[in-house]
Amino acid sequence: MKQKQNSNAVSSENKPAFTLFLTAFKSYVKQNTLVIIIFLAVFFSVAAISFMDSASKETVVSFALEEFEVGQISDRTIIAEKSIAPTIESPLSIIKDEKIIRKGFAITEDAYAKLEKMAKTPSYIDYRSFANSVLFYVLLGALAAFLFSRKILNRKAEPRELLFLSVLFIIVFAITSFGIKIPFFSYSFALPIIIPATLSVMLITVLFGQISAVYFSLLVSFAVLYISSFDPVPAFFILCSSIAAARIVRKTEKRIDMIFASMILGVLHAVFLFAFKIIFNEAANFTLAIVMGNVFNGFISGILALGLLTPLESILNTSSVFRLMDLSDLNNPMMKKMLLTAPGTYNHSMMVATLAESACSEIGANPLLARVGAYYHDLGKMEQPEYFVENQSGNNKHNEINPRLSASVIRRHVKKGLEKANQLRLPKEVMDIIAEHHGNSLISYFYAEAKKQDDQVSPEEFSYIGTPPSSKESAVVMLADTVEAACRTLDKPSVSRLEKFIRQLIMTKVEHHQLDKSGLTFRDLDIIQQSFVKILAGYYHSRIEYPNQKDPDAGDSPQSEKKNDNQVIEKNQNDAKNKRINKEEK
């Protein structure tokens, strides 16, 4: 009875833990359904290729036929798994459960002939070899899941990235598996000629970054190592050439740079080939054709990558360096339209881009992405430019409407910007900057105006509906946007005043938890502040007042002077209000 009670107690204690695990598992599957589908699709594709490879491979119980010789003392016992009838080519018959060779006994000619018949018979499939390969690729899949996890990759891998890497891996795997069966490419130094690993790594580096390319190189090298029966030469060659390709291509800024990269890779392939010849002391099967073939592989990889990048950038919609360079061209129709319809917003975006690019360069983030994101971050203001203070010339539209409507108009420019970005098919990283450049901060000015009319007003009605920045580039654009707008309201912007004011603006964002998910450290914030101060101090530097310089607003008659004075007072009042609105918008 006591034992039963104890078992019930144990089961009741375990039940909550199991329930928590089950809930967490269901949540994980729900959040990563697409990733799991991609992983399973890759695994089954690799398993299918491995099965065809095992079916066509001359192996017996996962051992290659070349490992057996007539007269050799066998170190294993091999039993026939199925009966094989005699044929015209091979009159020998094999009976199921027959011992073909025995451990400790010499291999006879008849036994070797039966081993050869088993290996070459199409109906005989070496399931043990297939099972070994499946187990190996399960472990390789676990390594891939670890390398491309959020903690190791330092970001969440997008499904499009995982899908692209999976397709490339299957292509490389299939070509290697079937290419090694061709006699010429079965040699250690000849196999890398047909493996498109360098091409794959170059594409991944440009489209998704160097880290993803290096991890892909590691996975492909392990796959080649297994396919080549653990021959180290092709695996090490692929690893070295792929990492070299990732390192070279990561610095490319123009498409012509890919041509130079392909030339360098061709030379490096020859260097790697001779280095491995010396290391492994492999004199046989090392011909001029093999050397030239590997050099050609490195050169043609860059040429093919250059040709494939343009359609892949469009299909995958990535923020590659070439795509960002195209988007940074200020002569494109959208930027021209912004200049005409919202000139104040255009000039503001140019200044924000300068600030963000400089700061990102200082902290090691992506300056090109920050610049492009800053160019397009206020696309939504083109819809109703007259409601934004930088586009106003004296008349403030917000004087004619209530604070709730004003806040709605101000807040809506983020949504409108995302709609225009979707129409332009801007990369996701740029769209994230548009969506996050205000975070979920409060539009304080109009909230305060509404509070004067109704004390029960909710802050949510006057907050942006976006999310706080999730990347360094997005956070820097937010800070640059805030600082550029607010510093326009600063009187006598000396270096010391700019330093204090910018520090205050940045710390306000920190206190309101707008930078919590950005990955910025306080050291980064100090560097960003110094970068902003250096640029804005140069922009707002004082100028010499020329002698006998007249005020263009000053009139000759007392009446005109009085009239001009009234205009100046009225203008100053409007400017002061516009500055307050501008500051609160940001």
Q: Looking at per-residue confidence, does 370 or 570 come out higher?
A: 370
Rounded CA-CA distance 584/424 in Å is 30
pLDDT digits (tens, 9 = 90+) for 296-317: 999 999 999 999 998 999 899 8
Rounded CA-CA distance 586/581 in Å is 9
pLDDT score recorded for residue 208: 92
Q: Is the pLDDT of residue 88 over 80?
A: no
Rounded CA-CA distance 338/387 in Å is 15
Q: Which residues pair with 84 in a beta bridge?
A: 94
Contact of 189 with 276, CB cutoff 8 Å? yes
For tokens 């025995």, what's the residue?
Answer: 102
pLDDT digits (tens, 9 = 90+) for 39-53: 999 999 999 998 887
Mean per-residue pLDDT, 139-149 = 93
Alpha helices, DSSP H only, in 281-320? Answer: 288-316
Rounded CA-CA distance 418/8 in Å is 57
pLDDT digits (tens, 9 = 90+) for 216-272: 999 999 999 999 989 899 999 999 999 999 999 987 888 888 999 999 999 999 999
Share of the chain above pLDDT 90, in %: 47
**Minimal CA–CA distance to 176: which of 133, 135, 207, 212?**
133
pLDDT digits (tens, 9 = 90+) for 160-182: 999 999 999 999 999 999 998 88
Q: What value, to the nearest 5°, has the Cα angle with vertex 11 and ends 9 and 12?
A: 65
Alpha helices, DSSP H only, in 425-545? Answer: 428-436, 444-453, 472-487, 495-511, 522-539
Rounded CA-CA distance 386/262 in Å is 51
Which residue segments constitute the domains of the chain, with CATH numbers given? Answer: 59-120 (no CATH), 132-316 (1.10.1760), 333-544+551-585 (1.10.3210)
pLDDT digits (tens, 9 = 90+) for 194-232: 999 999 999 999 999 999 999 999 999 999 999 998 989
Share of the chain above pLDDT 70, in %: 84
For tokens 């040709």, what's the residue?
Answer: 307
Contact of 204 with 213, CB cutoff 8 Å? yes
pLDDT score recorded for residue 131: 87
Rounded CA-CA distance 446/431 in Å is 27
- Show the tokens assigned to 109: 């000619």
Q: Is the pLDDT of residue 61 over 70?
A: no
Q: Looking at per-residue confidence, does 371 or 548 come out higher?
A: 371
pLDDT score recorded for residue 122: 59
Mean pLDDT of the chain: 83
pLDDT score recorded for residue 165: 96
Q: Is the pLDDT of residue 586 over 50?
A: no
pLDDT score recorded for residue 347: 93
What's at 22, amino acid-wise? L
Contact of 213 with 242, CB cutoff 8 Å? yes
CA-CA distances (angstroms) from residue 94 to 70, 100, 134, 164? 18, 9, 28, 47
Q: Is the pLDDT of residue 561 over 50?
A: no
- Rg for the chain, CA atoms, rounded: 34
Q: Which residues pair with 63 in a beta bridge?
A: 60
Contact of 62 with 132, CB cutoff 8 Å? yes
pLDDT digits (tens, 9 = 90+) for 74-85: 877 887 777 777
Q: Is 495 exposed, middle or buried (0-12, 13-18, 19+ CB in 10 A)?
A: middle
